[in-house]
Amino acid sequence: MFKKFSPKEDIASQTSIKSSVQRHIRASLLKQFPLLAQGEGEAQVLEHIWPKKENITLVKCKEHISIFALHGEPLFFQHFDGPFFPTLRLLHKYPNMCPQVGIDRGAIKFLLAGASMMCPGLTSAGGMLPPPEHSIPEGAVVAIMAEGKEHAAGVGLMKMDSEQVKKVNKGVAVESITYLGDDLWSLKNIS
């Protein structure tokens, strides 16, 4: 999604959003990422990322991508009305906010070039998929971890059920949305 993205051309507008809309976004973020809802009041995780008093900016980009930024730092983004994706930097801070899948060493190179992750990369010895009781449904936002690394290498979208991935073992399993070194990664600050 962010393989080619230049802030100068692809950003259409930047607006601060109404507080009622912000409330709505907060609610859906909490719903989507249960981890963010942990802790009470001031100690809530979301409060850390995005304090209630702060106004978040909506950055509208081409192809219906909207990025939510706080003080210019992108936090979440969204395609149409799809699920929210955390940016990779945010995911590094809270590695457990999404379910995780792992890819083997051979696939890292391709992930960092922007390719989608194929089933064999997840099912091989170096890959990692959650056990059946924690299976990840299709369309879920996942953190893509890599073999032998402690931090996430990308954020992805499941194209199949994680159980199905094990069964079929062919074709695209996870679509990579943003990854280390793409243009969203280079975009540290939206000015």
* Residue 2 region by backbone torsions, left for phi larger than 0, else alpha for psi between -120 and 50, else beta: alpha
CA distances from 45 to 56, 71, 137, 186 (A): 16, 18, 24, 25
Are 107 and 128 in contact by the 8 Å Cβ rule? The answer is no
CB neighbours of residue 167 within 10 Å: 11
Q: Taking CB under 8 A as the rule, does residue 35 contact another protein? A: yes
**Residue from 92, 116, 120, 164 in contact with another protein (CB under 8 A):** 92
Q: Which residue, 18 or 149, has its beta carbon nearer to another protein?
A: 149
Are 61 and 13 in contact by the 8 Å Cβ rule? The answer is no
Q: Taking CB under 8 A as the rule, does residue 99 contact another protein? A: yes
CB of 14 to another protein, least distance (A): 14
**Residue from 32, 87, 123, 178 in contact with another protein (CB under 8 A):** 32
CB of 42 to another protein, least distance (A): 11
111 — phi, psi (to 5°)? Answer: -60, -45
Q: How far apart are CA 132 and CA 152, in angstroms?
A: 22
Q: Taking CB under 8 A as the rule, does residue 186 contact another protein? A: yes
**Residue from 61, 97, 174, 177 in contact with another protein (CB under 8 A):** 97
Q: Taking CB under 8 A as the rule, does residue 178 contact another protein? A: no
Q: Taking CB under 8 A as the rule, does residue 38 contact another protein? A: yes
CB of 122 to another protein, least distance (A): 13
CB of 168 to another protein, least distance (A): 19
Are 48 and 9 in contact by the 8 Å Cβ rule? The answer is no
Q: Which residues contact 10 (CB under 8 A, 6 or more apart)?
A: 61, 62
Chain residues binding another protein by CB under 8 A are 32-35, 38-39, 43, 45, 48-49, 89, 92-100, 104-106, 108-109, 112, 124-126, 130, 134-137, 140, 147-151, 153, 180-181, 185-186
